[in-house]
Copies of this chain bind each other. A is one copy, B any other.
C-alpha cells in the first residue's frame, strides 16, 4: 500500500464518508463479486468513532438500533429492509397501474369521525397560533383511519381505483403488530359482484408484488432471511407456489371448537377471532395464507353487503390471515342497495352524517367491493421481521415520536 493512503487511513474511523478512486476488479473472495483497488482515498466527513453508537463489525440487535432512528438506516440490515420497502412501494404502484387502476390521494384530514374503526387522532392548529374559538375547519377534524369511503366516491367515476398512504390509530398499544402511524394499500372495484373476484385481486397483489421484490432486490431479501429469519425463505416460497385457501367464518369457528388447544377466548359463533385463533387457523391450513369469508353481520361495520342468509345472518366480508402476522388484508363487498344501506345507517344512528354516502346509492349505484392491506405487516410477512417498528423508517407509537 502506498504511503499517501496511510495518511488517509489514520483519519479514517468506521462511519466516515470517503471519496475513493481506484480500479474495480473481480474479487478473489467467495463472499463478494468485486472489490475496489484503491489508489486514492480522501476523507469527506470523518466520524467521531468514540461517540458513534454503531460499532465496527458488531451485529447490533434491532431493539438497540431503534434508539437511533437517525443513524440505524446506515446498518446493513436496516438498509436492506428500507430498500425492500422502496421496491415494494414501486411494485405495488406498478401492479395497480398495469391492471388499469387509477391512483387516488384520499384525504389525511377528514371530518368522518364515526366509522367505528377505533381510536382517532384529532387535528387542531397548534396552540401557539391565535385562532378564533371555533374549529379551523368549522367541524371537528381527524386523521384518517381508512381511505375506503373516499375511494368509494371515486369508484363512481373510475371503474378501478387504489390509494396507498398513511393511516392512523390512537391505540394505546406497544404490540409488535401495531403502530399509531402506518401505511395502507386500499383498492375499490366497481361492477364487482362476488368475493371470489375480490380475493383474486388480493392474492394477485400479494404474489405479484412479492415476485417483483424478490427479482429486483434479491440480496436485500436474502440478508433478512439469512440473519434475521432463518427458514423464512422456504416459508415464503411455500406461500407463493400454492393457492391461498378459503374457509367461511362458520367453518373457522368449527375448526377452532374442535381444536385440542385451550384458547384464552373461547371460540363461539358471533364472536371476534382473536390473535390466538388466527394463529391456530393458519397453522391448521398448513402455514398457508387463508381467506376467512362471510362474517356475522353484527361484527362488521354498516357498509358491508348483507348476505341475506339465515339463521346465521352474515355479510360478504373477507379477511386474509397469513403466517407470522395474522390479519394482513380486510375487505368486503359494499352494500350498494339504497334501502339496505339506509336501514344499516339508521340502526347505527349515522343517517345524518352519511347522507353523502347514501347519495352514492341514489345516483347510479353499482355493485362494488374493495380491500385494504397493511403495508408494514406485508413487509413483516415477506421478510420475517418480528417487530413492526423495524420495517418503517420512523415508527410512531404510544410514548414515542422520535425526531
Contacts and interface: CB of A to CB of B under 8 A. Distances in A.
Interface in A103-150: 103-113, 119-129, 131, 136-143, 149-150
A70 B105 contact: no
Contacts of A170: 125-126, 129, 136
Identify the 9 closest CB pairs spanning chains A and B, nearest first: A45-B365, A137-B401, A73-B157, A125-B170, A86-B103, A107-B394, A120-B126, A17-B364, A122-B126
A336 interface: yes
Interface in A19-69: 19, 44-48, 51-52, 69
Interface string A363-390: 1111100000000000000000000000
Contacts of A122: 123-127
Contacts of A45: 336, 361, 364-366
The quantity of this chain's copies bound in the complex is 2
Interface residues of A, number: 96
A183 B104 CA distance: 12
A150 B138 CA distance: 32
A51 B107 contact: no
A394 B83 CA distance: 31
Nearest to A13: B364
A140 B126 CA distance: 9
Nearest to A151: B393
Contacts of A78: 157
A50 to B, nearest CB: 11
Contacts of A153: 69-71, 73, 393, 403
Contacts of A108: 108, 143, 166, 168, 181
A121 B125 contact: yes
Nearest to A46: B364
8 contacts: A16-B364, A47-B364, A70-B359, A71-B359, A74-B156, A83-B158, A104-B393, A136-B172
Given A17-B365, A122-B127, A360 B70 contact: yes
A366 to B, nearest CB: 5
A359 B102 CA distance: 42
B123 A143 contact: yes
A105 B359 contact: no
